[in-house]
Amino acid sequence: MAKGRGTTFTTVRGDGNLAITKWQDNKPVYLLSSCYAAEKTDTFRRWSKLHKTYLTVTRPEVIKEYNLSMGGVDLADRMLSDCPSRARTKKWTIRFILHMLDIAVTNSWFVYRIECMVKGIACKRIMQLQEFKMSLGHYFVKPMTCQVIAQNQTLKEYWNLNIKEERCLLFPYHQT
């Protein structure tokens, strides 16, 4: 079998309920599907670092559907592997806490990107994940000044919250 980019190899289980597809991109991609096999393919453009140009590559339908429905977990895993912040420690507790912090920072970067896109900020001006992590680190390291709450000031006034307190909709007046 040729090992070129866009090559597809599919094996279907005897009863026809499962198909495993191997698709060659930069690295081999394996997907197990109960819906799609390699019958349908389409072409799309992929950037080639070697040729420094776009190449037209064929891909099976299972890859196309996966890319269309890729959710937050897949994106977060990809971003964590692209820009990890690893500490050299053997303590599993420290590694776990740092991994959870890394997930929180990555999720906040996703929210930041969405907010920038909603506000219409140009893509070139939106920070990349590594730049976002650096600016977040600088923010938490710099000395902070804190404002003291006046004794006659409530927390609502301090935070400037204009919240109208109403009865909970789940429990109407006559039930409580």
Q: Among 2-11, 89-98, 127-136, 149-158, which is the least confidently predicted range?
A: 149-158
Position 59 pLDDT exceeds 60: yes
pLDDT beyond 80 at 170: no
Per residue in 70-89, pLDDT tens? 776 777 777 887 777 777 88
pLDDT tens, 83-123? Answer: 777 778 888 888 888 888 988 998 899 889 889 999 998 98
Does position 12 have pLDDT exceeding 80, yes or no? Answer: yes
Structural contact between residues 8 and 38, judged by C-beta atoms closer than 8 angstroms: yes
Find, among 57, 22, 24, 25, the residue nearest to 41 by Cα.
Answer: 57
CA distance linking residue 69 with residue 103, whole number of Å: 21
